[in-house]
Chain A
Amino acid sequence: MAEIRFTKEHEWIRIEGDTGTVGISDYAQGQLGDVVFVEVPEVGKKVSKGAQAAVVESVKAASEVYAPVSGEVTAANAALAGNPGLVNASAMGDGWFFKLKLSNKAELGELMDEAAYKAYVAGLG
């Protein structure tokens, strides 16, 4: 059973074994509006927790997407280049950004679970 964690910056990471799939939350895509461009990291890139890993640009704003935890990029979602709207249509599914091989699973403990994230978003008004 995969578990999912969220950051305060509205990234999600779904953990399966040593690998995590990263994207932005449904709340984040709603705030951004129509996504028109996504830049994903190259496979093999090492990212540390909180470092910029990807870029998402909507009709409103360009935003950085941060690595929720440290690790090495093992896959990037090539489909986003041709169809960035996938992020709007399926933020938590087909609109994933990249996959990471986790280097420090303990960092997951600093992230929110789904219930905590829901409460966090509700508090943002």
Chain B
Amino acid sequence: MDKSQGRTARPDAAPAAEIVTASGHRGLQTEEKLIFEQGEPGRTGVDLPAPPKVADRLNGLKRQRPVGLPGLSEPQVIRHFTRLSQKNYAIDSGLYPLGSCTMKHNPRLNEKMARLPGLADIHPLQPVSTVQGALELMDRLAHWLKTLTGMPAVALTPGAGAHGEFCGMVAIRAALDAKGQQSRKRVLVPESAHGTNPATAAACGFTVDAIPADDRGRVDLAAFKAKLGPDVAAIMLTNPNTCGLFEPDIVTIAKALHEAGGYFYCDGANFNAIAGRVRPADLGIDAMHINLHKTFSTPHGGGGPGSGPVVFSEALAPYVPLPYVVHGKDGFRLVEGREGKAEPLGRLKTFHGQMGMFVRALTYMLSHGADGIRQASEDAVLNANYLLARLKDVMSPAFDGPCMHECLFDDSFLKDTGVSTLDFAKALIDEGFHPMTMYFPLVVHGALLIEPTESETRASLDEFVGSLRSLATRAKQGEAASFHAAPRLTPRRRLDETRAARQPVLRWKPAAPTRQAAE
């Protein structure tokens, strides 16, 4: 936990939190003023010629008050945004164990390929004869996704996971309607599914019927079977589920569902735990989205955009939305209307989907190979199980292991300590780590969901374990007050996150009347 090396970095000084500096800065961490507070009227970083005299043609539309932009030199601007970026915590700065989010390393090779001029500088409205390489790339990506999942068709265009869910559920609605089964409106959603699943079903006009989790954190099979009926349209199941557990009854569930006339939607957000090991087609799945930004290492969490292609079974294949790539005698082309037996859903997105993410995902696939993708899944599962094994005596696992790519704890190890899951997570920030996912999934009390991903070394995991074990011990030794005060070493202490979202202060007002207001 002590990261100091070499000469003593900690003389018997006061704790860092108590040192007061004249500047307000703390070491090389600056106390950054707003850009408006740094600006001076008239200062500028560019030298523009005075505009020529032209007659005012704006009539009453002429601006009445100053724009209120801050005046800064170029170095001021560069420093301001560089300092702000240094306060950010990112996957490039350290372990990012946010469960359910798969904050794995984004290989720089992906970025290099995405910046190739032949891919970065093309336009979606160019003639297809001039973008054959880009279309081939989409076709290759589709081939990899279909091969890894064993599914016959794929829709590349959905913009992210929930958009993919929408695509899949609309396809299921279309398939049911084509069979004259408009009355099938009920969608079964296990409690262990992602929260977007019931939201998607409701948004698509279905009614949501929850299936309880059993005491192993899996779908309660008996409860599932009891809910089957002639009005059931589909199940939306997440596998591995949000407890980080594989649903072992998935084949039984698929068989019973199909016999009852329903379709099987699988939330593939956790495909990164099983890619290269399990083919969803073999499990009886009809539609599944794949978060390229999670499983195939394209940037997300603010660095996005996401990308959520959906693979379809034979039954749903005719509904793949437009446009899609086909290979004909004159090379690759885009299908942008109804052709053959297809009943495309129309367009879900402008143009062809997140092309930049397609490039990155295919780069990841080709650079890793099928064996590398399989190993990435295995390492992700191994790392999560390593954490579970090293922490289970001091924290309280919600369910017995082994787990898949993430391990889940409840807050019973904090019982009677006066420390909540939130306090525990905040204290982890002082230890130099991004907190894990808290209070999700809801099926577990005070949940702490940790997903280390395959990116971490043993040493990095050990350091993280050291911090968690120390915190768990301190909580049990009655140091609740220090947890309540956490984080103490950050530029700002604990914030009222809810009020910041509910009642945000969005307008800066100058302190002195001589300053110009920001409009």
Contact = CB atoms under 8 A, between A and B. Distances in A.
A36 B495 CA distance: 12
B237 interface: no
A59 B439 contact: yes
A39 B502 contact: yes
Interface string B489-512: 000000011110010000000000
Contacts of B71: none
Given A34-B420, A34-B422, A60 B442 contact: yes
Interface string A73-95: 00000000000000000000000
A60 B498 contact: no
B442 A59 contact: no
A59 B499 contact: no
A60 to B, nearest CB: 4
Contact of B502 (A33, A34, A37, A61): A37
Contact of A59 (B421, B496, B502): B421
A43 to B, nearest CB: 19
A113 interface: no
Contacts of B439: 33, 59-60
B438 interface: yes
B152 to A, nearest CB: 39
A36 B420 contact: no
Interface residues of B, number: 14
Given A59-B421, A59-B422, A37 B442 contact: no
B39 interface: no
A57 interface: yes
Interface in A101-118: none
Contact of A37 (B420, B421, B438, B499): B499
B446 interface: yes
Interface string A25-41: 00000000110110100
A59 B420 CA distance: 10
A34 B446 CA distance: 10
A84 B25 CA distance: 33
Interface in A1-57: 33-34, 36-37, 39, 57
Contacts, number: 23
Contacts of A61: 442
Contact of B446 (A33, A39, A57): A33
Contacts of B498: 36-37, 57
A123 B438 CA distance: 28
Nearest to B438: A59
Contacts of A39: 502
A36 B502 CA distance: 11
A38 B166 CA distance: 32
A115 B363 CA distance: 64
Interface string B469-507: 000000000000000000000000000111100100000
A60 B496 CA distance: 15
Contacts of B445: 33
Residue from A39, A57, A59, A61 with most neighbouring chain B CB atoms (10 Å):
A59
A59 B442 CA distance: 11
A42 to B, nearest CB: 16
A84 to B, nearest CB: 8
Contacts of A34: 420, 422
A33 B422 CA distance: 11
A83 to B, nearest CB: 12
A21 B498 CA distance: 26
A115 B440 CA distance: 32
A14 B498 CA distance: 29
A37 B498 CA distance: 7
Interface in B396-436: 420-422
A66 B467 CA distance: 43
Contacts of A57: 498, 502
Q: Which of B496, B498, B499, B502 has the most CB of A within 10 A?
A: B498
B223 to A, nearest CB: 13
B409 to A, nearest CB: 15
A59 B439 CA distance: 7
Nearest to A125: B212
A39 B501 CA distance: 13
Nearest to B499: A37
B499 to A, nearest CB: 7
Contacts of A60: 439-440, 442
A72 to B, nearest CB: 25
Contacts of A59: 420-422, 438-439
Contacts of A33: 439, 445-446
A33 B445 CA distance: 9
Nearest to A37: B498
Contacts of A37: 498-499, 502
A39 B499 CA distance: 11
A60 B421 CA distance: 11
Closest 9 CB pairs of A and B: A36-B498, A37-B498, A60-B439, A59-B439, A59-B422, A37-B502, A57-B498, A60-B442, A34-B420
20 contacts: A33-B439, A33-B445, A33-B446, A34-B420, A36-B496, A36-B497, A37-B498, A37-B499, A37-B502, A39-B502, A57-B498, A59-B420, A59-B421, A59-B422, A59-B438, A59-B439, A60-B439, A60-B440, A60-B442, A61-B442
Given A37-B499, A60-B442, 20 more contacts: A33-B439, A33-B445, A33-B446, A34-B420, A34-B422, A36-B496, A36-B497, A36-B498, A37-B498, A37-B502, A39-B502, A57-B498, A57-B502, A59-B421, A59-B422, A59-B438, A59-B439, A60-B439, A60-B440, A61-B442
Interface of B: 420-422, 438-440, 442, 445-446, 496-499, 502
